[in-house]
Amino acid sequence: MPHATAPLDLVTSVATGELGIVDLTFTLSPDFPVIVLPPELGQAAAIRIEEISHYDSRGPAAYWNNVSFSEHAGTHFDAPIHWFTGRDLPSNSVETMPVEHMIAPACVIDCSQSAQADADFLLTVSAVETWEAQHGAIPPRCWVFLRTDWSKRTGRDYANLRDDGAHTPGPDASVIRWLVEQRDVLGFGTETIGTDAGQAGHFQPPYPAHHYLHGAGRYGLQCLCNLDKLPAKGATIIAAPLKIRNGSGSPLRVLALVSKCSSAD
């Protein structure tokens, strides 16, 4: 058997700066917007951080907090069990999913200009084919990240809620089905508050990213940031959700390993 040197190479490459690490994670705080669903549905709880002690009478030696939030708070991971289409799949929760799926390459599709021009911008098959003409086909078992620069928005502009719901970019139904069936993607990631577009409740099927990804045992990542610091191809993503019992998702730290030698495309 060949000697397994890769983990040591990884550590060395990070130490020498040959390999950069980009943090794709927002700070988890009560200020971060939480998804709002129609009022007749159950709602995600607010993100709370409460001090237990702060080197004071409650604990002279220690600073620590109680935190509480939904499984889908801040930068977070969606597991197949999150959607009805994935409810009966094996190993479909963050508890049971294969750890091998927590490290995977990413393809980043830059739609930032389109999303700036149109908050309801939708990624299509033809847009991905245009990307592939430049960068080559999306390899199997990759993350596909939709770069919109939405993570640069702050306050109300981030959730972009209007009377008729959220207006944020995302994939159309055809492209997400195509990515799963024709490109065998591991998952799909966005900078917005969900993997689906803000208006995707009106799509057929409703919330197609959730429908097709989770129905095929694939994953979602959302509320990512710093996608503009990634190459179109060549980043390796580390996304290991918390091991919550039968969990449908979790906030997590998402890191991208990027070779300093790799070009921007």
Tell the smallest beta-carbon distance from residue 2 to Mn ion (Å): 40
56-75 positions binding Mn ion, by CB under 5 A? 72
Stretch that binds Mn ion, among 37-45, 46-54, 77-85, 126-134 (CB under 5 A): 77-85
Among 78, 110, 191, 196, binds Mn ion (CB under 5 A): 78
Nearer to Mn ion, 200 or 258 (CB): 200
Q: By Cβ distance, which residue is nearest to Mn ion?
A: 72
| Residues identified as active-site | 82
Q: Which of 160, 226, 219 is nearest to 193 (CA)?
A: 160
Does 147 help bind Mn ion (rule: CB under 5 A)?
Answer: no
Who contacts 225 (Cβ-Cβ below 8 Å, separation ≥6)? Answer: 24, 25, 26, 75, 151, 191
Does 196 help bind Mn ion (rule: CB under 5 A)?
Answer: no
Nearer to Mn ion, 166 or 232 (CB): 166
Tell the smallest beta-carbon distance from residue 212 to Mn ion (Å): 15
Contact of 109 with 128, CB cutoff 8 Å: yes
**Paired sense of beta strands 187-190 and 219-222, if any:** parallel
Nearer to Mn ion, 139 or 206 (CB): 206
Compute the C-alpha angle 218/224/225, nearest 5°: 150
Stretch that binds Mn ion, among 76-84, 154-162, 239-247, 255-263 (CB under 5 A): 76-84
Tell the smallest beta-carbon distance from residue 265 to Mn ion (Å): 30
Report how far residue 231's alpha carbon sits from residue 107's, in angstroms, rounded to the nearest whole number: 8
Strand ranges inside the chain, DSSP E: 19-23, 48-56, 59-68, 76-78, 103-110, 122-123, 143-147, 161-162, 165-166, 170-171, 187-190, 219-222, 233-239, 249-251, 254-259
Q: Which residues of the chain form contacts with Mn ion (CB under 5 A)?
A: 72, 78
